[in-house]
Amino acid sequence: MDEPNRQPKFELAQARELAEALAQHGADYLFLGKAGAILLGYPGTTLDLDLFAPKDADNARRCIDALRKLGFHLDEETEKALLTGKDFVQIKDGPFDVDIIHAPDGIESFSAAKARRVMEDIFPIASLRDIIASKKASNRRKDLVDMELLEEFAREYAAMNAKPLSSAFDQAMKRSGGDA
Amino acid sequence: MPQTDEETLSLWREQCRRQMKRPLSARLKYGFVRVSNREHVNRSFATMSDYRAWCEQHQPSYLGYGRAQPTAQV
């Protein structure tokens, strides 16, 4: 009897290996989708990792080198798809499933998303605003099911991570060096 | 058992707060599901529309990859 197709669970050690390999090769990327939300504390589950990367051949080369180092098998066609920046590249021939997305629905550009990113430990993650925008724009039934839960999570996340508010008066006083 | 939508959402908010307080290792350990019949085939799509169309043609509809129906205009 054939052994079932087993693979290790995706856990912190693998996530770190991935982030460290991408960082060592200088690759630019953001965690997107439900994987990004889970890293931020969303109590849900997913099957794969969505990585948002810029359409840039040099950056793609760095991603390819990092993924190969981790044991992903990237054939010629997959390599070409990454280098030419095809919108969606699904990589399933490796230790875990990774989707590289170059043009996610609902996000205007990589640079804009990067400017709004959140760092959780060593993981660069698209903002919840962008994660939700891309899911809304994709208009898939499975994403719409999650939408209300994600939006509630985003409110809780904002409340838990809010910086103390200061009024315009407080800020004016601070600028003038006075006490409020 | 929650009796109303508001009670259900309130429980969800509590669950979110608890999860955010858990360490990253726990979030990852229970957040990623592995499947045993995983295929090892890479695919690429020139556009997101091509990907959505492929999902609609090749994924079972119960997985929810299909496009949602447009909302009826009132």
| Average pLDDT value for chain A | 91
Asked whether residue A5 carries a pLDDT value surpassing 60, the answer given is no
pLDDT of A47 reads 86
CA separation for the pair A100, A25 (Å, rounded):
16
Chain B residue nearest residue A91, CA to CA: B42
pLDDT of residue A1: 44
Q: How far is B50 from chain A (nearest CA, A)?
A: 9
Closest Cα in chain B, distance from residue A26 (Å): 23
Chain A, chain B: beta-carbon pairs less than 8 Å apart: 147
Q: Which amino acid is at A40?
A: L
pLDDT of residue B74: 42
On the question of pLDDT at B72 being above 60, the answer is no
- Contact criterion met (CB below 8 Å) for B27 and A38: yes
More confident residue, A90 or A1: A90
| Interface check B8 vs A, CB under 8 A | no
Residue predicted with more confidence, B11 or B65 = B11
Q: What is the ipTM of this complex?
A: 0.87
pLDDT digit string, tens, across residues B2-55 = 888 889 999 999 999 999 999 999 999 889 887 766 678 999 999 999 999 999
pLDDT in tens, A41-91: 999 999 889 999 999 999 999 999 999 999 999 999 999 999 999 999 999
- 8 Å CB contact between B12 and A152: yes
- Token digits of residue A2: 């054939």
Q: Which residues of B touch A35 (CB under 8 A)?
A: 31-32
CA distance B13 to B1: 15
The stretch A100-128 carries a mean pLDDT of 97
Q: Which pTM was predicted?
A: 0.87
